[in-house]
Amino acid sequence: MEKICVVRIMSALKKRGDAQSTIKSLRLNKLHSCTIIDKTDANIGMLKKVDNLITYGELDEDSLKALLKRRAMVSKNKRYEWQENALDDFAAAFLSGKKTLKDLNIKEVFSLHPPTKGFERKGKKTPFNLGGAFGYRGDKINLLLKRMI
């Protein structure tokens, strides 16, 4: 099953209640937090409801490996220690849907830095297809993730 990476880029303050509850159900409690979800119709509907607060797209294996290697946390202040070939094996199994992050006791939400050199030219208040930052990115989410890791 295909995986979607979701990154929160705007605050939900002064937004309607259903948008705030959707953000909470996606577990995106802080700015620049990231989560990985399955590509299902229900999840796509949730993403479209809060489209102006997040950016999302399909995750590839290289970005997943970099995200897990640099940002996988076990507890609040402790990173996950990867064995020699475990990261490659887990990333392939995770993207195919055979394993989950809970199998290794890794938190499902990743804290990221703001992107180096900022967001796109038109800023966070314009959709991605018009040169901005929020909304659906497709596979270009991987470029943003590399700048935020």
The C-alpha atoms of residue 113 and residue 71 are separated, in whole angstroms, by 10
Please check whether residue 97 is in contact with residue 1, taking contact to mean a CB–CB distance below 8 angstroms: yes
pTM for this predicted structure: 0.90
Q: What is the pLDDT of residue 118?
A: 84
Euclidean distance between CA atoms 137 and 68, whole angstroms: 21
Q: What pLDDT score was predicted for residue 90? A: 93
| Confidence label for 16 from pLDDT (cuts 50, 70 and 90) | confident
- pLDDT at res. 127: 85
Using CA atoms, how far apart are residues 80 and 117, in angstroms rounded to an integer? 28
If one compares 13 and 17, the residue with the highest pLDDT of the two is: 17
CATH of 3-148 among 3.30.1390.20, 3.40.50.1970, 3.40.190.10, 3.20.20.70: 3.30.1390.20
pLDDT band at 136 (very low <50, low <70, confident <90, very high): very high
3-class DSSP assignment, residue 67:
helix
Within 25-117, strands assigned E span: 33-38, 54-58, 73-75, 78-79, 109-111
What is the Rg, in whole angstroms, of the alpha carbon atoms belonging to the chain? 15
